[in-house]
Structure 1
């Protein structure tokens, strides 16, 4: 599945429904840019191993549509709280780990028995 299809599935939008496609595309495009900003400058596309981050950040952003700038929302017994942090901040350690492995800084353990 593509990132687009994954996001539609996670936000529970029927794959045949196209009314939100432009918004979802824009959100995914912005999420990809966020990931790429944290990667070395020689990388021009999000690597397949990090596409899940684009998907998760896109879903989080989609769920906040209409509630931009709010830290919490409550109506008729339903309460929603939003993190003040940037959605992608939660994935910094994953991105750094991927970069370290790519650069060969993260090697396996050698044990002598």
Structure 2
């Protein structure tokens, strides 16, 4: 988690530890949500950790605008995705496809059955 936290802080260009507790919550929530999407209980595979970081950055950038679908002020308009994982649906689907357990053989020793 510490490595993830430091990478998120670099992405957000945060130099202090003022938001560390909040970022840790965002990272944990994103990790838990991704595990749920993937139907896994163990640690996330390393190649998918970037999704957790990206979702945490999105959540942080929405700070104080949580729950809004869009925001407008003085001609500037911002629209938020309703699902933070939408940008990664292809990667999530590919992981599911590669790890669904189908077409994977298993050796069974008939003498031990």
TM-score of the aligned structures, taking structure 1 as reference length = 0.77
Aligned twin of 1:22: 21
Aligned twin of 1:53: 51
Q: Is 1:65 aligned to residue 68 of structure 2?
A: no
Kindly state the Cα deviation for residue 79 of structure 1 after the two structures are TM-superposed. Answer: 3.0
Kindly state the Cα deviation for residue 3 of structure 1 after the two structures are TM-superposed. Answer: 1.5
The 2-side partners of 1:68 and 1:50 are apart by 24
Kindly state the Cα deviation for residue 52 of structure 1 after the two structures are TM-superposed. Answer: 0.6
The 2-side partners of 1:77 and 1:24 are apart by 30
CA RMSD of aligned residues (A): 2.1
Aligned twin of 1:99: 96
Aligned twin of 2:77: 79
- Unaligned stretches of 5+ in structure 1? 107-113
The 2-side partners of 1:5 and 1:72 are apart by 29
Kindly state the Cα deviation for residue 28 of structure 1 after the two structures are TM-superposed. Answer: 0.3
- Unaligned stretches of 5+ in structure 2? 104-113
TM-score of the aligned structures, taking structure 2 as reference length = 0.77
Aligned twin of 1:10: 11
Kindly state the Cα deviation for residue 59 of structure 1 after the two structures are TM-superposed. Answer: 0.6
